[in-house]
């Protein structure tokens, strides 16, 4: 049994109570994590505030060097981290189309190195005989990071590395469902970074750790990835000191397939961008609109692929899809499937939980639903795909945009010019053509409407961890 401790001011901190971390492939605990509380948050914030004065003044090149060293440490421990990610999330080591624990750890390494090389140079607006006007980017102070259970290590990296790169210090709270790989990352980082620069506080379900961070007057910014409902609570709690916020929230991404595609060529890609990590990714394709002329053919091909997909323990090399990460999410998937049946959905494959231990659910394709049914209107965050028929392109764009969410969307066609024009009509933070959910460390990513505030990645994302100071130097 692994024991996960907190790490504050460079020191391991053991709590008086612990909580279990469940392996979703077995339904049994494989680790015990420290049950922190608001007092631990206070201690972590105090440590981060003390460390900020030194870290923010550390020469830029030295901060870069230390972050590259952290990337190298992640790479040196890649097999260990992959196993931890699989044990706590269920995602396979390799996974469907190579999207698994290896991709999560490998992506974390890549994001660390790319972000370490980002810069925010001084902008000069004016430099003449009268005055010089410069725009400087300055770190905010202590950043609070609250991460979700679906990509625990990757999203921790997305939050922490740009915060540190900009000169901030960090207190991170991982999900109580998957704190293990994040705790190991923080431990590796503390062997490289000065004490107090990166602190870890873990909390059990329903603890006061998250609320204490959201309302803490010593935290200047919260970066959160998770549900829209929780994002609203963080916004409200952070109003006391006008916290800066980056919120990457829920998505219910639409994909629109035009009638000119080759169904057999496109279906495997559509299946992959929908079902990798069992659909437990914010930017997975969640609603698939297919033109009536190819609808039945596409449904049949997707069902054929789903039926042949290998579901099992993520530690087994042949596994493509693992279990759903937790029992609560499995119950939601079952609830949405039941509602889809009651709404007249035609289940082409799957549609049930797999017998035996663990939180396994068969990959499921559902035809003949339309807007207004729960499986179309709500984000399932599981291996359920509604395939929806349409006839008019203008109408389907409007239907896709009717969602309260706006994280991502995609158009699938052989006519790239037309597809790009249609993609720009989608009301979402990222639009793809013949792809969905692919993100990269130099391209900004974030949502509109109720899918979030702000962006991550690249220089645009890095800037969100800073404040602007305008410096005007009079010369005459």
Residues 6+ apart with CB under 8 A from 441: 110, 111, 114, 115, 457, 458
Residues 6+ apart with CB under 8 A from 73: 188, 189, 191, 192
Residue pair 285/274 in contact by the 8 Å Cβ criterion: yes
The residue from 88, 104, 176, 248 that is catalytic is 248
The residue from 88, 176, 282, 428 that is catalytic is 282
Q: How far is CA 129 from the centre of its chain?
A: 49
Q: Is 284 a catalytic residue?
A: no
168, two tokens: 């901030």
Strand partners, 365: 349, 385
Q: Is 282 a catalytic residue?
A: yes
| Of residues 387, 371, 370, the one with CA closest to residue 270 | 387
Cite the active site residues: 248, 282
């Amino acid at each position: 049994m692994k024991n996960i401790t907190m790490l504050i001011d460079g020191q391991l901190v053991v709590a008086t109570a612990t909580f279990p971390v469940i392996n979703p492939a077995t339904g049994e605990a494989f680790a015990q994590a420290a049950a922190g509380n608001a007092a631990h948050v206070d201690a972590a914030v105090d440590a981060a505030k003390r460390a900020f004065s030194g870290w923010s003044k550390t020469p830029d090149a030295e901060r870069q060097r230390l972050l590259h060293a952290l990337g190298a440490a992640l790479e040196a421990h890649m097999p260990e981290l992959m196993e931890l990610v699989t044990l706590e999330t269920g995602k396979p080591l390799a996974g469907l189309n190579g999207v698994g624990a290896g991709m999560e750890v490998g992506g974390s390494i890549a994001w660390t190195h790319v972000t370490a090389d980002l810069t925010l140079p001084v902008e000069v607006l004016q430099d003449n005989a009268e005055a010089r006007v410069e725009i400087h980017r300055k770190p905010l102070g202590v950043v609070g990071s609250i991460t979700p259970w679906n990509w625990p290590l990757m999203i921790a990296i997305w939050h922490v590395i740009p915060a540190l790169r900009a000169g901030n210090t960090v207190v991170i709270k991982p999900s109580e469902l998957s704190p293990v790989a994040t705790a190991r990352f923080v431990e590796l980082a503390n062997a490289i970074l000065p004490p107090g620069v990166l602190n870890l506080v873990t909390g059990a379900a329903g603890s006061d750790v998250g609320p204490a961070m959201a309302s803490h007057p010593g935290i200047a910014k919260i970066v959160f990835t998770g549900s829209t409902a929780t994002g609203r609570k963080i916004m409200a709690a952070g109003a006391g000191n006008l916290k800066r916020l980056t919120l990457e929230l829920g998505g219910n991404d639409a994909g629109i397939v035009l009638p000119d595609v080759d169904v057999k060529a496109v279906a495997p890609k559509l299946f992959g961008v929908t079902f990798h990590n069992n659909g437990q990714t914010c930017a997975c394709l969640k609603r698939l609109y297919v033109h009536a002329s190819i609808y039945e053919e596409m449904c049949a091909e997707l069902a054929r692929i789903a039926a042949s997909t290998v579901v099992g323990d993520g530690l087994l090399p042949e596994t493509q899809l693992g279990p759903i990460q937790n029992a609560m999410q499995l119950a939601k998937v079952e609830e949405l499937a039941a509602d889809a049946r009651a709404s007249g959905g035609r289940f082409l494959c799957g549609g049930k939980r797999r017998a035996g231990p663990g939180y396994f659910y068969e990959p499921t394709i559902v035809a003949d639903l339309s807007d207004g049914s729960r499986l179309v209107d709500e984000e399932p965050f599981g291996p359920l795909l509604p395939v929806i028929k349409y006839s008019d392109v203008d109408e389907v764009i409007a239907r896709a945009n009717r969602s309260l969410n706006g994280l991502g969307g995609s158009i699938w066609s052989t006519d790239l010019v037309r597809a790009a024009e249609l993609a720009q009509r989608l009301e979402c933070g990222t639009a793809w053509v013949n792809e969905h959910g692919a993100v990269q460390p130099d391209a900004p990513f974030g949502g509109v409407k109720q899918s979030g505030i702000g962006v991550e990645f690249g220089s645009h994302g890095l800037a969100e961890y800073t404040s602007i100071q305008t410096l005007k130097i009079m010369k005459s």
